[in-house]
């Protein structure tokens, strides 16, 4: 894979500008690429039709990038995980042999002059006739998850604040992140309450940004780079969508079973994961994910970070990029940014402070909506064994 | 493939109702299917976030269908071709071995109480900062295509009207179509002018509807049916998006080159196609498609229908379903409806009047936006030769 990224933040740039900027960064990263060889294009974007009044973005973005794909072209949408789904489509297109050279872009322009529209449009993500119509948007939902987790397992606001502190620590060495400032645990605890127990600094941002990848065959990749990064692949799971069908809020069964399927399918264990980019849309999310991904036992996520197990040098380096909390979360871009981070980590092209030395296997996790739907991709420094998916 | 469909039209039903209705029709079509075996789900929908204020529709639709997919789940969007892109993703997921049993749904709810919103939202489909902001929505664009075609090749309004007459003739035997009434050439010519030379009956409708498919492996398909239908596969092409980059309006080069690539890739010729469902969003579109798909020479599309070559019994049966002109065009549903038609044709489960007896190979074509972006899938009654895609 080749990879490119834009600065994340409140950008004075349109979604088109962001696509072009990420594309330029990508094409600069693979100077030997002839754009004429790009035969497929995938774009992950959550709501350009509401935030920028533009749909049918795939052919328009292809034109902006100067490519004329002739095999597979798609825009994928799944709210917060729109980017990873684009990667999965590209992976299958290349793995099947239908495509040789695929470009993936994830993009979102969320900060608009009509900020109230941006905010209320997030209501579209939940079941709007039931859940979000009753006010159950993301902050209150994740707040309830946190409350249940505190009640059942004794997780503390301090432990959640540590997740944000860690994110800021690593993001201080990430020049693309929206929030590069170091944030102390106390800063988090003293920030404005949003939905108890979640405070402002427990939440990720409203962000503009884009990221881009080149996905190709082994043979072609060797022409572009001496250090190709491998996509092992990945899958997704959704077991229920409406909140009343999801059961105990502090169990994310879709993620628990998804992780098990991923480990079985690719014949690995959680212990094999060296670096993980997980979907820390709120601090409690990352704690839940330690558990459901099997990095620690259920209920011990708070202790896991308290003991330093999710820091670089701990059991598994989680979110060395700064995660969503510090990078910000431009919905369609996030999954692609995670893949960009894997490429940079495996190449050793990140500052020492956030470099996971010796990492060989990486996991990228997204959730979308109210954590109804989970998504995992695996990336590797080494050529993987061929996986037959049980057929 | 298994297949199900809803009635198309101005429905007193929400998009959710339409998904459930198409799903029920599909599950009734494959009674031996255990829903627990559905491991993947794909939904094509163009603008639910604008027309129904709901995004993140994939996990919600999965819940409505009572499935809990654990491999690949995606919503795809490409305006008028959103459905075919979902089919392509499902095909790749199954062909790669990652998925065994995939459900595809295409859906669109376009008739809302806020009809002006529905209409103006179509502006999002073009490059809204340039083309559609200048008024270049679909009717004027396709009108200009028709004007150029008339000017260069002598195509007549009569010939265009014949396309609508043929659509109505076949749709009179399609109980799912929005417009089942027979329409004479004179009716078309006498209908209200929309954008010269296109009159009301030269245009497809604003429609609510859904269709669903089951895509699975050969082994599993044999458990569900004695008459499986094969997906050979298909690709897409976009060479330019903005109108000023597209060149001569009466040449759809993206489609011309796409068709050539499809025939090369699958080692067939236009003469091998027995039945084609093509994207007749306007009557002129179907005439353009005869030519660019290679059914006749460039400029001879008008003559092609005048000579009866695109009727059942002619050179190739085009739109025996009644096409978009008579079925209506619920954007996300259309590509899936075309696949449904192929299944019904190959099974011989359509009324005699529109049955393409002896058909073995079918082509489904979509265009999206202002014909910037073209999409083809091939379906077969017979087990295809394995295709290696040149690697």
Of B351 and A120, more confident: B351
Nearest residue to B231 via CA among B356, B94, B324, B359: B94
- What band does A116 get if pLDDT is binned at 50, 70 and 90? low
A97, B54: Cβ pair inside 8 Å? no
Model pLDDT for residues B214-234, shown as the tens digit of each residue: 999 999 999 999 989 999 999
Same-fold call for A2-113+208-227 versus A135-200+232-380? yes
Query: Residues of A with CB below 8 A from B217's CB?
Result: 391
Residues B329, B365, B374, B375: which is the catalytic one?
B329
CA–CA gap between residue B24 and residue B5 (Å, rounded): 9
Q: How far is CA B118 from the centre of its chain?
A: 20
A53–chain B nearest CA distance, Å: 6
Residue B181, preceding bond cis, omega within 30 degrees? no
Nearest to A55 among B47, B72, B75 (CB): B47
Cβ distance of A55 and B261 shorter than 8 Å: no
Query: Rounded to a whole number, what is the distance in Å from the CA of A278 to chain B's nearest CA?
Result: 19
Residue A135 to residues A206, A285, A372: CA-CA distances in angstroms? 19, 20, 17
Which residues of chain A does B239 touch, with a Cβ-Cβ cutoff of 8 Å? 68
B238·A62 Cβ contact <8 A: yes
B125/A98 Cβ within 8 A = no
3-state SS, A158-225, equals HHHHHHHHHHHHHHCCCCCCCCCCCCCHHHHHCCCEEECCEEHHHECCCCEEEEEEEEECHHHHHHHC
pLDDT at residue A23 tops 80: yes
Residue A320 has pLDDT above 90, yes or no: yes
- In angstroms, rounded to a whole number, what is the distance separating the alpha carbons of residues B308 and B324? 19
What is the Cα Rg of chain B in Å? 19
B252 vs chain A: nearest CA distance in angstroms? 14
Give the integer Cα–Cα distance in Å for A202 and A347: 31
The predicted model gives A214-230 an average pLDDT of 94
- Asked if A372 and B59 come within 8 Å (Cβ–Cβ), the reply is yes
**pLDDT recorded at residue A390:** 45
> How distant is the Cα of B146 from the closest Cα of chain A, in angstroms?
23
- CATH fit for domain A2-113+208-227, picks 3.40.50.970, 1.10.3720.10, 3.40.47.10, 3.30.450.20: 3.40.47.10
CA B47, B53, B59, B65 dihedral sign is: negative
CA-based nearest residue in chain B for residue A124: B54
Flag if B76 and A75 touch (Cβ within 8 Å). yes
Selecting among A279, A329, A365, A375, the annotated active-site residue is A329
Residues of chain A with C-beta less than 8 angstroms from the C-beta of B54? 124, 127-128
**Per-residue model confidence (pLDDT) at position A90:** 98
Closest CA to B83 of B8, B175, B10, B142: B8
Note if A56 is an active site residue: no
pLDDT band at A391 (very low <50, low <70, confident <90, very high): very low
Pick the residue from chain A with its C-alpha nearest to B90. A89
Closest partner residue to A60 among B72, B123, B127, by Cβ?
Answer: B127
Judged by CB atoms closer than 8 Å, whether chains meet at B56 and A89 is answered as no
A80 is catalytic: yes
- The hierarchical CATH code for the domain B2-380 is 3.40.47.10
Question: What is the pLDDT, as a whole number, of residue B290?
Answer: 99
CATH code of domain A135-200+232-380:
3.40.47.10
Asked if residue A389 has pLDDT above 90, the reply is no
Question: Backbone dihedral region of A83: left (phi > 0), alpha (psi from -120 to 50 degrees) or beta?
Answer: alpha
pLDDT digit of tens for each residue in chain B (391 aa)? Answer: 899 999 999 999 999 999 999 999 999 999 999 999 999 999 999 999 988 889 999 999 999 999 999 999 999 999 999 999 999 999 999 999 999 999 999 999 999 876 666 666 788 899 988 898 888 999 999 999 999 999 999 999 999 999 999 999 999 999 999 999 999 999 999 999 999 999 999 999 999 999 999 999 999 999 999 989 999 999 999 999 999 999 999 999 999 999 999 999 999 999 999 999 999 999 999 999 999 999 999 999 999 999 999 999 999 999 999 999 999 999 999 999 999 999 999 999 999 999 999 999 999 999 999 999 999 999 999 988 766 654 4
| ipTM surpassing 0.90 | yes
Q: What is the mean pLDDT of residues A360-370?
A: 97
Torsion of CA B378, B382, B386, B387, to 10 degrees: -20
Q: Would you call A124 and B92 a contact, using CB atoms and an 8 Å cutoff?
A: no
User: Between A68, A98, A123, which is nearest B92 by CB?
Assistant: A98
State the pLDDT confidence band at A388, using cuts at 50, 70 and 90: low
pLDDT of B390 reads 46
Out of A108-117, A125-134, B150-159, B292-301, pick the least confident: A108-117
Q: Which residue of B has its CA nearest to A77?
A: B75
Record: contact A124-B55, CB cut-off 8 A: yes
Reported as a single tens digit per residue, the pLDDT across A42-51 is 999 999 998 8
> What pLDDT was estimated at residue B391?
45
Q: In A, which residues are within 8 Å of B38 by CB distance?
A: none
Query: What whole-number distance in Å separates Cα of residue A196 and Cα of residue A203?
Result: 12
Average pLDDT along chain A: 95
């Amino acid at each position: 894979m080749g990879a490119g990224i834009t600065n994340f933040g409140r950008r004075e740039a349109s979604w088109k500008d962001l696509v072009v900027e990420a594309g330029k960064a990508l094409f600069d990263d693979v100077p030997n690429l002839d754009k004429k060889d790009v035969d497929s294009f995938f774009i992950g974007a959550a709501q350009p039709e509401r935030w920028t009044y533009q749909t049918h973005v795939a052919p328009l973005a292809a034109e902006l990038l100067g490519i004329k794909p002739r095999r597979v072209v798609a825009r994928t949408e799944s709210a917060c995980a729109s980017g990873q789904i684009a990667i999965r489509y590209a992976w299958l297109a290349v793995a099947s042999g239908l495509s040789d050279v695929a470009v993936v872009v994830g993009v979102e322009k969320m900060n608009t002059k009509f900020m109230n529209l941006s905010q209320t449009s997030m209501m579209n993500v939940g079941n709007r006739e039931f859940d979000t119509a009753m006010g159950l948007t993301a902050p209150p939902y994740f707040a309830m998850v946190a409350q249940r987790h505190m009640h059942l397992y004794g997780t503390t606001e301090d432990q959640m604040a540590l997740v944000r502190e860690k994110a800021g620590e690593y993001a201080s060495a990430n020049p693309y992140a929206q929030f590069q400032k170091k944030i102390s645990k106390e800063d988090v605890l003293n920030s404005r309450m949003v939905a108890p127990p979640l405070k402002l600094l427990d939440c990720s941002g409203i962000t503009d940004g884009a990221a881009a990848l080149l996905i190709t065959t082994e043979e072609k990749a060797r022409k572009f780079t001496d250090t190709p990064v491998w996509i092992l692949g990945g899958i997704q799971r959704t077991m229920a969508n409406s909140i009343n069908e999801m059961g105990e809020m502090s169990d994310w069964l879709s993620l628990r079973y998804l992780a098990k399927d991923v480990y079985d399918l690719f014949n690995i264990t959680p212990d094999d994961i060296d670096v993980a980019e997980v979907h820390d849309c709120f601090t409690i999310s990352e704690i839940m994910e330690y558990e459901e991904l099997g990095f620690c036992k259920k209920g011990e996520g708070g202790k896991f970070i308290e003991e330093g197990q999710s820091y670089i040098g701990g059991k598994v380096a989680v979110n060395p990029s700064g995660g969503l909390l510090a990078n910000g979360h431009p919905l369609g871009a996030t999954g692609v940014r995670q893949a960009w981070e894997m490429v940079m980590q495996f190449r050793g092209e990140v500052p020492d402070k956030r470099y996971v030395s010796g990492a060989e296997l990486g996991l990228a996790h997204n959730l979308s909506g109210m954590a109804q739907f989970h998504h995992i991709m695996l990336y590797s420094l080494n050529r993987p064994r061929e996986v037959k998916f049980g057929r």
